[in-house]
Amino acid sequence: MSAEELATQTEPTVDGTSEPSEGGFWRRTSRFLTELGVTAGQAAATGYQAIDPDVRRHFGGLPLMALTALSLNGDSTPRALADDRHRPLVYVHGLAGAGSNFIALRTALALRGRRRTYAIKFQRTQSLETLAGDLALYLRQVIGVNQLGDSAQLDVVAHSMGGVVARLALEDPALRGRIATLITLGSPHSGTYLARFANTTVTRSLRPDSEQIARLDRQLPWPGLPDMPRLVALWSDADMMLLPHDAARVDGAENVLMSGFTHYDYLIRPEGWRMVAKALGM
């Protein structure tokens, strides 16, 4: 029934004639709006249920990730930090990320005593090779500014693209012996088909058929110590940013399934923090 029909609806009077009924109009209007609301609600619920649960969880975590990126901070140049009786730990963010993405994980590990930590800040317009060179330089600066010995080592935790950058940095033989443990969180070690939807220098390099991914493949099976650092690769069967999901696995590495994790859950869920701490021997 249209609004015009509702407005002209009449009710019989005592003498048998009809005249517009204001009360009847509002009752019918109320019923119409109620039915419309119920129909709209059912349609919304049906549409919501039609969305893949992994996609719903992924977008559900975006507001929290956005909060971690507000400052977009990171350490362009590392400074000396007090010895916490652990190896210095360097965090490496992913594509369009920031050092502040690690604030929750960094805080969780600091509460366990891991306080000499750094988070590199990448420039967004560079190639993977340039980023790898910047990371290698940054790691050497961390060693130098803390006056570590020739045999001192670092640990690295890298999210998403950061894991690919870290492995490319390890093409430098002099750097391999300076990293004890590399932990990757949802990194596209085999590339991701999702990168086909963008056409930038970096995203082209993250495609499965790229030259950069082929270079990573030549490192496999992962040899581990003493030729390479110990590699722990956390991956998820619900990570919608990695297609296929097992692209985050590395042949020969310690692959840990974080079932149900979204691409960002590694950074914001306590289960992820605990797994990173465990991999670091804490």
Residues 16-40: pLDDT tens digits?
Answer: 555 555 667 677 777 777 777 777 6
* Positive/negative CA dihedral, 129, 135, 136, 141: positive
- Span 209-237, mean pLDDT? 98
Higher pLDDT, 240 or 70: 240
- Span 275-281, mean pLDDT? 98
What is the dihedral angle through the alpha carbons of 103, 105, 110, 112, rounded to the nearest 10 degrees? 160
Euclidean distance between CA atoms 221 and 250, whole angstroms: 8
pLDDT band at 135; cut points 50, 70, 90: very high
Q: What is the pLDDT of residue 6?
A: 47
Mean per-residue pLDDT over the chain, rounded: 86
Q: What is the pLDDT of residue 131?
A: 96
pLDDT band at 94; cut points 50, 70, 90: very high
- Model's pTM, two decimal places? 0.79
pLDDT band at 101; cut points 50, 70, 90: very high
pLDDT band at 250; cut points 50, 70, 90: very high
Residue-wise burial string across 78-96, b where 16 or more C-beta atoms lie within 10 A, e elsewhere: beeeeeeebbbbbbbbbbe
Could you check whether the bond before residue 221 is cis, i.e. omega within 30 degrees of 0?
yes
The closest alpha carbon to 90, from 178, 216, 220, belongs to 178
**Residue in the block written with tokens 């980023």:** 131
Lowest mean pLDDT among 70-74, 125-129, 174-178: 70-74
